Structure 1
Amino acid sequence: MKTALITGASSGIGKTFAQELAAIKTNLVLVSRSSDKLYELANKLENKYQIHTDVIVQDLTEVAATKSVFEVVLEKGLTIDLLVNNAGFGDYGIFTERPLAKQVNMIQLNITALVELTHLFLPGMQERKSGGIINVASIGGFQPLPYVSVYGATKAFVLSFSEALWAENQDSGVKILALCPGPTESNFFQKAEFPSSAGGGSMQKLASAKEVVKDALQALEKNQSNVVTGGFLNQVIVNSSRFLPREILVSAVAKQFKSLKSNY
């Protein structure tokens, strides 16, 4: 039976990855800082699907957090066949008016922890000539995002980094995917402190996390470098930079996101 390690597994897309992978008889290593939610999920999935789950309660914004996770996996004698780097968060508002510490923690979680975990677990997959890594990016990684500037930049990094590793590993037997969802049912908007009007209603319909995860697993199986989930509108968004000058595009995005603030 294969084993998947999922970060940010206590809610949203991460929790749904756990549920969908458990349903196809995949053992799980669940990582999050939310102890109660993790253990509740682990017990539920073990009882329902007769799989084995391990829980690692860890805040990945802390120094040496990823090394700690890796060492726990080694101590337990586990082999990670699939790494899902899902943990991440955003922040809405004018850059200079938002807390610097939150921006730095965002970079630590969305970029640094993801790179470190990939660097720790990828060599073992390469040695076994099998495995997969799903890095959760965003449709926001395809163009700058005024008023969500640091978040958009982190997801642009994840997209570029993942596609580069996909190309490097074409002959290694390891599949690497950048998952690029649009607005999805989760607590993202609340944690990012978006105005209440931005919960999907005034922007676009929220995709279900289950749809996103199913699309991701299918794309990984096909060895795609990235997958954009959430329907036709998201395809238009990610391809708009091919047809519009960047200044026009980023100005239009700025206008859209600024209107959320003014309507709050």
Structure 2
Amino acid sequence: MPDAEGRTLALITGASGGIGEAFAREIAADGHAVALVARDEDQLNRVAGVIASTTDMPAYPIVLDLAEPDAADRLIAALTRRGLDPDILVNNAGFGLVGPALELDRSEQVAMIDLNVRALADLALALLPAMRERGTGGIVNMASLASFMPGPGMAVYYATKAFVLSFSEALSSELAGTGVTVTAVCPGPVPTGFQPRSGMEEVRAYRRARKMSAPDVARLGWAGFKQGKRTVIPGLSTYATAQFVSILPRGLLLPAIKFFQRKD
């Protein structure tokens, strides 16, 4: 369904900065209206203003905390009130925390599961039926290089991203032939607001890794979605790492990750 003015609409979560903002700019520049969801009203309005001033596409900001239990229903209600029905969903909202699971705050780790897993799945399951009925559109789910391995030192975060990849690949298979695309984007380290929030800036793996910019991730992820790809792993080094860890025995992989997840 188009928006109220006849344009296709992409709904982007976590759109107040970083990869979410980059996706919003990329998709708007490609000729789609965008609905932007995040908690930070000031930053959300900033992104909407940038899109309005640099493209011919409208940007609809919606301030909402997707970690709340009824967030998906409230978001759909807000969209309906504006006459908006997304053709595309970019599930980008999420956060991580560095540290041993038993030393991190339990409630924060459960909140991470609520946002990274429950909210993502809830929105996908809520919006996919209409997409399948129309036979067009789809979902971009932001996974991670972390999706391919266990993560001692960020155990819950890595587990949530493993869910995102598994869920996305299964949905992609179930929807094959319907005209609906589900793509998991699995970047390596990307400098955004994620690192200060998670504590990643002091971690060996992040400090030593080759990094990719948020706009490059968005560009490659969006291109892969339009090509109907099930999985996009941006960057040669990230792709090589994903392939390597998939064949490395767990007895070697786990201590290696544990070492590189430590703070320098």
TM-score (norm 1): 0.94
Deviations for 1:143-172, whole angstroms, at most 9, x for unmatched residues? 101101100000000000000000001121
2:259 aligns to what?
Answer: 255
Structure 2 residue corresponding to 1:219, chosen from 220, 224, 237? 224
Compare 104-113 and 245-254 and name the one that shifted more: 245-254
May I ask how many residue pairs the two structures share in their alignment?
258
Question: In structure 2, how many angstroms separate the alpha carbons of the residues matched to 1:85 and 1:197?
Answer: 26
Aligned 8 A contact 1:189 1:198 in 2: no
1:99 aligns with 2:112: no
Alignment map for 1:165-184 (pairs within 5 Å):
165-184=171-190
Say if 1:242 and 1:108 are closer, same or farther in 2 by CA, change over 3 A: closer
Question: In structure 1, how many angstroms separate the alpha carbons of the residues matched to 2:35 and 2:247?
Answer: 43
Q: CA deviation at 1:117?
A: 0.3
Q: Which runs of 5+ in 2 are unaligned?
A: 1-6
Deviations for 1:86-126, whole angstroms, at most 9, x for unmatched residues? 00000000111100011001000000000000011111101
Question: In structure 2, how many angstroms separate the alpha carbons of the residues matched to 1:242 and 1:21?
Answer: 32
Amino acid of the structure 2 residue aligned with 1:250: L
2:3 aligns to what?
Answer: none
1:236 aligns to what?
Answer: 240
1:188 aligns to what?
Answer: 194
Question: In structure 2, how many angstroms separate the alpha carbons of the residues matched to 1:194 and 1:211?
Answer: 20
1:46 aligns with 2:52: yes
Deviations for 1:61-87, whole angstroms, at most 9, x for unmatched residues? 112011100111122221211100000
TM-score (norm 2): 0.94
Query: Identity of paired residues, percent?
Result: 38
1:177 is paired with a residue whose SS is: strand
Q: CA deviation at 1:218?
A: 1.3
Structure 2 residue corresponding to 1:162, chosen from 160, 168, 172? 168
Aligned 8 A contact 1:135 1:177 in 2: yes
Aligned 8 A contact 2:137 2:181 in 1: yes
RMSD: 1.4
Q: CA deviation at 1:26?
A: 1.1
